[in-house]
């Protein structure tokens, strides 16, 4: 299997599921193959971006079972930054050497105008700052509230300074697993539609997945949409596998759920991602 990958054969979902289970000498072979694939594809130089995350609100009512971030608006610790505070944080980041801000938040019950207004406010003060912002869920919410198509809403954001989009709100793209994690959130099909629309709008985005559970079929299934989208629009810039942080989440300790990701699971995830996405997504990012 690994020899076939080095010979240029694509890794199948079934093969990926198998590789998520390997141990010992087979795990060593997996990581060596992934390392050689990485060397052939991108070489030995690694790059980084100095960025600052600005989560402009933690107020959300979705009730995702993996989240310990959300607050109700009257809860202690609930926050909603005004434009002045958002710009202040962006300026502070720029002054410390950042070239990018990443702006995302929870599901807000407010005017969708806040999204383009943020972009305009930052660009007015920091025209050279790259703005990487708004998950597909925020795009869905803003387009729905504005009564615009995804295409038109994204076009408006790009015209106001959006540089790229994260692929968050994906979590796990296996539909059955997703129903257990976040029953009323964006569906897999909606996520794919928004991401495809964004890439066709020449707004390259980053693909994120949270991989919280030891369900190899779900983990293998996570990758399937990415190569398919990339074949048609070539819009992915990188894959960022984010391990699940279970501390104080609603599903922490729930039967059948993982208490978090292990070191070996991180290794397998990065290695399998490198092999399965080879030729479609060149950059596998280690989250900061």
Provide the number of structural domains found in the chain. Answer: 1
pLDDT band at 75 (very low <50, low <70, confident <90, very high): confident
Residue 87, Cβ density class (10 Å: 0-12 exposed, 13-18 middle, ≥19 buried):
buried
- In this prediction, residues 72-101 reach a mean pLDDT of 93
117-159 pLDDT tens trace: 999 999 999 999 999 999 888 999 899 999 999 999 999 999 9
| Dihedral angle computed from the Cα positions of residues 148, 152, 157 and 160, in that order, rounded to the nearest 10 degrees | -110
Its domain, for residue 115, covers 2-42+49-284
The CATH number given to whatever domain includes residue 254 is 3.20.20.70
Q: What is the pLDDT of residues 240-265, one digit of tens each?
A: 887 766 666 666 655 545 566 788 88
Give pLDDT, residue 109.
64
Torsion of CA 20, 281, 102, 187, to 10 degrees: -60
Closest C-alpha among 207, 202, 200 to residue 225: 207
Mind listing the pLDDT tens digit for each residue in 110-125?
778 889 999 999 999 9
Residue 159: Cβ within 10 Å count: 11
| Residues 162-197: tens digit of each pLDDT | 998 887 766 666 667 667 666 667 777 888 888 888
Distance (Å, whole) CA 41 – CA 34: 10
Q: How far apart are CA 73 and CA 125, in angstroms?
A: 30
The set of residues, in sequence order, having a beta carbon less than 8 Å from that of 173 and lying 6+ positions away, is 188, 191, 192, 209, 221, 222, 224, 225
pTM of the model: 0.82
The pLDDT mean for the chain works out to 81
Contact by Cβ (8 Å): 182, 64: yes
| 3-class SS string, 105-173 | CCCCCCCCCHHHHHHHHHHHHCCCCEEEECCHHHHHHHHHHHCCCHHHHHHHHHHCCCCEEECCCCCCC
For every residue of 176-210, DSSP letters joined together read: HHHHHH-TTS--HHHHHHHHHHHHHTT--EEEEEE
Q: HEC string of 33-99?
A: HHHHHHHHHHCCCCCCCCEEEEECECECCCCCCCCCCCECCCCCCCCECCHHHHHHHHHHHHHCCCC
pLDDT-derived band at 281, boundaries 50, 70, 90 = confident
Are 150 and 157 a contacting pair, CB within 8 Å?
no
pLDDT at 39 over 50: yes
Distance CA 126, CA 216 (A): 44
Tell me the CA distances in angstroms from 213 to 166, 171, 251, one per residue in order.
22, 11, 11
Residue 287 has pLDDT above 60, yes or no: yes
In the predicted structure, residue 57 carries a pLDDT above the cut 80: yes
Residue 211: pLDDT over 70:
no
Please report the pLDDT score of residue 248 as a whole number: 66
Determine contact, residues 268/24, Cβ cutoff 8 Å: no
Is pLDDT above 60 for 212?
no
CA neighbours within 13 Å on the CB side: how many for 197? 18
pLDDT of residue 279: 85
Q: How far apart are CA 154 and CA 134, in angstroms?
A: 10
Q: How confident is the model at residue 223 (pLDDT cuts 50, 70, 90)?
A: very low
Q: When comparing pLDDT for 182 and 37, which is higher?
A: 37
* Edge-to-edge strand ranges of the sheet holding 51-55: 51-55, 100-104, 130-133
């Amino acid at each position: 299997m690994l020899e076939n990958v080095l010979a240029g054969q694509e890794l199948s979902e079934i093969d990926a599921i198998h590789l998520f289970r390997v141990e010992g000498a087979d795990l060593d072979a997996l990581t060596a193959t992934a390392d050689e694939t990485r060397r052939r594809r991108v070489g030995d130089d690694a790059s980084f971006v100095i960025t600052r995350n600005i989560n402009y609100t933690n107020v959300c009512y979705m009730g995702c079972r993996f989240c310990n971030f959300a607050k109700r608006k009257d809860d202690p610790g609930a926050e909603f930054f005004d434009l002045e505070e958002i710009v202040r944080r962006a300026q502070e980041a720029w002054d410390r050497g950042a070239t990018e801000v990443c702006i995302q938040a929870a599901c807000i019950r407010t005017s969708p105008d806040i999204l383009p207004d943020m972009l305009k406010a930052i660009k007015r003060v920091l025209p050279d700052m790259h703005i990487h912002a708004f998950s597909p869920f925020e795009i869905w919410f803003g387009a729905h509230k504005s009564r615009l198509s995804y295409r038109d809403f994204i076009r408006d954001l790009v015209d106001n300074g959006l540089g790229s989009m994260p692929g968050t709100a994906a979590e796990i793209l296996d539909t059955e697993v997703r129903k257990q994690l976040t029953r009323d959130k964006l569906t897999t099909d909606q996520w794919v539609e928004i991401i495809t629309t964004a890439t066709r709008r020449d707004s390259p985005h980053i693909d994120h997945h949270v991989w919280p559970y030891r369900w190899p079929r779900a983990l293998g299934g996570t990758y399937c949409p990415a190569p398919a989208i990339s074949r048609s629009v070539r819009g992915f810039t990188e894959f960022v596998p984010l391990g699940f942080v279970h501390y104080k989440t609603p599903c922490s300790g729930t039967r059948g759920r993982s208490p978090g990701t292990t070191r070996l699971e991180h290794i397998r995830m990065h290695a399998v991602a490198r092999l399965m996405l080879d030729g479609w997504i060149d950059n596998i990012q280690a989250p900061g």
